[in-house]
Amino acid sequence: MQEFNAIFIFLILSLFLGLSMIILSVFAAPKTENHKKQQIYECGMDISQVKREKINLQFLTYAICFLIFDIEIIFIFPFAVSLDVLGLFAIVEIMIFIMLLLFGLFYIIAKRVLRFK
């Protein structure tokens, strides 16, 4: 039961802190109304000035490569935490996984995906 006491106290304190921030912002925030605040916000641009522009697709491939290599941490972290419990088979599996990721990295370097023009 003592384990739950710390969780309960943390929950109460976090709810109190969150609600107090919201209530404080309601009372402390300036209450000015103007035309700009009433307009629809669309990515920082006025709606009447929206233009169709070509977006460089290299930014998209760069973002996808970042996500792929960033998500690998999600798979490697549990392995690193429980390394002492897992056996030799798990070590071989994670080495294969890392080799596949390195192969992908070398491939995108060879295809010059990460080079901007």
Task: Please tell me the number of Cα atoms within 13 Å of 36 on its side-chain side.
Answer: 3
The token pair that represents 39 in the structure block: 């307009």
Instruction: Check: pTM over 0.85? Answer yes or no.
Output: no
Asked if residue 117 belongs to a domain, the reply is: no
Specify if 10 maps to a domain: yes
Q: What is the mean pLDDT of residues 10-27?
A: 94
pLDDT above 90 (res 21): yes
Mean pLDDT for 5-20 is 94
Domain that holds residue 12: 2-110
What value does the mean pLDDT take over residues 28-34?
A: 81
Instruction: Kindly state the percentage of the chain with pLDDT values over 90.
Output: 16
pLDDT confidence bin for 15, thresholds 50/70/90: very high
State how far the alpha carbon of 62 is from the alpha carbons of 88, 110, 113, in Å.
35, 14, 7
- Domain count along the chain: 1
pLDDT of residue 20: 95
Q: What is the CA radius of gyration of the chain?
A: 25
Give the list of residues 6+ apart from residue 76 with CB closer than 8 angstroms, or none: 94, 97, 98
Give the per-residue pLDDT at 29. 83
- How confident is the model over 58-88, as pLDDT tens digits? 777 778 888 888 888 888 888 888 888 888 8
Query: For 86, left (φ over 0), alpha (ψ -120 to 50), or beta?
Result: beta
Residue 60 lies in a domain: yes
For residue 22, tell me if it sits in a domain: yes
Residue found by looking up tokens 């596949």 in the block:
100
Torsion angles phi and psi, residue 115, rounded to 5: -100, 125
**pLDDT-derived band at 99, boundaries 50, 70, 90:** very high
- 116 domain residue, yes or no: no
